Amino acid sequence: MSRRSRDRRPSARPAAGGEARRPALGEMIMSRMGIKTASDVDFDAIDKLLAEPPAKANVQLQRLKEREASERQIVALQNSLREKPDDLVKLNALAYELRKLERTAEVVDVYRRILALDPGRVDLQHMLDAATGGRTPSRASDDYVRAEFDGFADKFDSVLTNWLEYRAPEIVVAAVRRVLGDEAANQVTIDLGCGTGLAGPLLRPLSRRLEGIDLSPKMVEKAEARGGYDALVVSEIGKYLATRRNAYTLAVACDVFCYFGELAEVFHQTHDALKPRGLFAFTVERNSGDGFLLQSNGRYAHADRFVRETAAAAGFDVADAAEVQLRVELHKPVMGGCYVLRRR
Ligand SMILES: C[S@@+](CC[C@H](N)C(=O)[O-])C[C@H]1O[C@@H](n2cnc3c(N)ncnc32)[C@H](O)[C@@H]1O
């Protein structure tokens, strides 16, 4: 054992007065993480965690634990796939774990193996495009969005709010309130890509009518169970908006345009679905370059200038715009823009 490791081991001395000794924090961490030998310990990581407020440190520890569990799971899946290389369940599980750890080159290899065995998995093509940077579709396909969110619906609320510090609905509704001021009631609102309806309780007090629409039936089921919407529809946003004219005073899209690259068509459709002077509030992930970008995690990011130019061309003025932290992912803040546009 190195001197550095020995110096940092928790003290095993009995407490003064012979009372039963409470385990030191380091011991608790070691026992909860299943650490048996000093060589298992990353002291710098633990020092960083101990410098955090306790609630945050618990979350970080949990993440560390999950990361290690993923690494173990990957080795187990790889071993078992050596015996049975065509096992689609295991290949999918392997892709999922590799994606969590951002091991992009290996994920691409696994996606290709899955597609070779199961060419019907059109949803995987989007992740392959994203990971290889080969092709940038103008938006994520309906198949991809449906498969992704139907599969995620059960865990969505807990993962986003507990683990990802997701705040898009709060950010969007606060921006709308800033713009509306005293008029912040009586809106006829549509929540585009409403998902499980996390924005519903925030939009309800602003709205005399509140509709939600989403491609994923499972996400819409969750929104239905949450309640608060006057109507919920399973549909693609563009297809649905094309049937609505001058219908709404407020349209919101929280964390939805990360599934769209081009924004011109959906901005035009939203413009036409709004009444004159109606508001359109949404978030985008930030691309610090030009235009839009399909990131290796399958999400699109947009440059501020691109959003503003597309908005102006679709007939909107910018009523409010702010740079915001949307959530955290793999310990890093995900930055974005929150915009409130007004229909001219
Ligand atoms: C990250 S979730 C956000 C859900 C919700 N807005 C929230 O803030 O909790 C993105 C949602 O957008 C939906 N979505 C993405 N593209 C869509 C499209 N073209 N048409 C309809 N829904 C779409 C997905 O099904 C998913 O429920």
- Tens-place pLDDT, residues 75-85: 999 999 999 99
Give Cα 245 distance to the centre of its chain: 31
Check residue 2 and give its pLDDT. 39
Write the single-letter amino acid at 74: I
Question: With pLDDT > 70 as the criterion, what percentage of the chain qualifies?
Answer: 90
Q: Residue 248 domain-assigned?
A: yes
Using CA atoms of 263, 268, 269, 275 in order, give the dihedral in degrees to the nearest 10. 130
Per mean pLDDT, which range of 51-60, 103-112, 296-305 is the poorest? 51-60
Output the residue whose Cα is nearest ligand 1's atom 1.
255
How far apart are the CA of 265 and the centre of ligand 1, in A? 17
Residue of the CA atom closest to atom 16 of ligand 1: 259
Q: Is 285 a pocket residue for ligand 1 (Cβ < 6 Å)?
A: no
In a domain, 134, yes or no: no
Per-residue pLDDT band for 69 (boundaries 50, 70, 90) equals very high
* Nearest alpha carbon, ligand 1 atom 14: 193
1-10, 109-118, 296-305: which range is least confident on average? Answer: 1-10
**Predicted confidence (pLDDT) at residue 57 exceeds the cutoff of 70:** no
**Phi and psi (nearest 5°) for 185?**
-150, 170
Kindly state the average pLDDT of the residues 162-172: 88
What is the domain range of residue 301? 159-343
**How many Å lie between the centroid of ligand 1 and the Cα of residue 289?**
24
The verdict on the CB of residue 216 being under 6 Å from ligand 1 is yes
pLDDT band at residue 218 under the 50/70/90 scheme: very high
pLDDT classification of 19: cutoffs 50, 70, 90? low
Instruction: State mean pLDDT over 311-337.
Output: 92
Summarize the confidence of residues 112-125 as an average pLDDT.
89
Q: Is the Cβ atom of 252 under 6 angstroms away from ligand 1?
A: no
| 334 C-beta closer than 6 A to ligand 1 | no
Percent of the chain with pLDDT over 90: 66
Q: Does 138 fall in a domain?
A: no
- Let me know if residue 59 belongs to a domain: no
Q: Has residue 108 been placed in a domain?
A: no
- pLDDT category at 43 given cuts 50, 70, 90 is confident
pLDDT at 50: 73
| 57 lies in some domain | no
Q: Whose CA is nearest to atom 24 of ligand 1?
A: 193
pLDDT of residue 176 exceeding 60, the answer is: yes
Q: When comparing pLDDT for 197 and 46, which is higher? A: 197
- pLDDT > 60? residue 13: no
**Least confident stretch, 53-57, 131-135, 188-192:** 53-57
Comparing 257-266, 270-279, 294-303, the range with the smallest average pLDDT is: 294-303
Strands 316-329 and 332-343, sheet pairing: antiparallel
Task: Assess if residue 293 is contained within a domain.
Answer: yes
Q: What is the number of structural domains in the chain?
A: 1
Q: Compute how many other C-beta atoms are within 10 angstroms of the C-beta atom of residue 194.
A: 30
Task: Judge whether 77 lies within some domain.
Answer: no
**DSSP state, residue 286:** B
The CA 177 to ligand 1 mean position distance, Å, reads 22
What's the confidence (pLDDT) of residue 291? Answer: 96
For the chain, the residue count is: 344
- 3-class state of residue 302 by DSSP: strand
Beta strands 300-302 and 207-214: pairing type? unpaired
Give the pLDDT score at 99.
87
The amino acid occupying position 156 is: F
Q: Is 168 in the pocket of ligand 1 (CB under 6 A)?
A: yes
Q: Say whether pLDDT at 17 is over 80.
A: no
Task: Indicate the pLDDT class of residue 202, thresholds 50, 70 and 90.
Answer: very high
Residue 86, pLDDT above cutoff 70:
yes
Distance 241 CA to ligand 1 centre (A): 15
Centre of ligand 1 to C-alpha 195, Å, is: 5
pTM (two decimals): 0.81
Is 198 near ligand 1, meaning CB less than 6 Å away?
yes
d(CA 213, ligand 1 centre) in Å: 9
Residue 123: enclosing H or E segment and its boundaries?
helix 122-132
Contact criterion met (CB below 8 Å) for 343 and 320: no
Q: What is the mean pLDDT of residues 200-228?
A: 97
Mean pLDDT of the chain, nearest integer? 88
Average pLDDT (300-319) is 98
Residues 6+ apart with CB under 8 A from 232: 194, 211, 212, 213, 214, 220, 223, 224
**Of 178-182, 251-255, 316-320, which gets the smallest average pLDDT?**
178-182
Regarding the beta carbon of 266 and ligand 1, being less than 6 Å apart is answered no
**149 touches ligand 1 (CB under 6 Å):** yes
pLDDT tops 70 at residue 203? yes
* 274: three-class secondary structure by DSSP: strand
Q: Which atom of ligand 1 is nearest to the CA of 253?
A: 6
| Residue minimizing CA distance to atom 9 of ligand 1 | 198
Find where tokens 């004159």 sit. 276
CATH number assigned to the domain comprising residue 170: 3.40.50.150
Pairing mode of beta strands 300-302, 316-329? unpaired
Average pLDDT over residues 242-255: 97
Q: Is 256 in the pocket of ligand 1 (CB under 6 A)?
A: yes
Arithmetic mean of pLDDT, 211-221: 98
Question: pLDDT-derived band of residue 121, with 50, 70 and 90 as boundaries?
Answer: confident
Q: Is the CB of 215 under 6 A from ligand 1?
A: yes
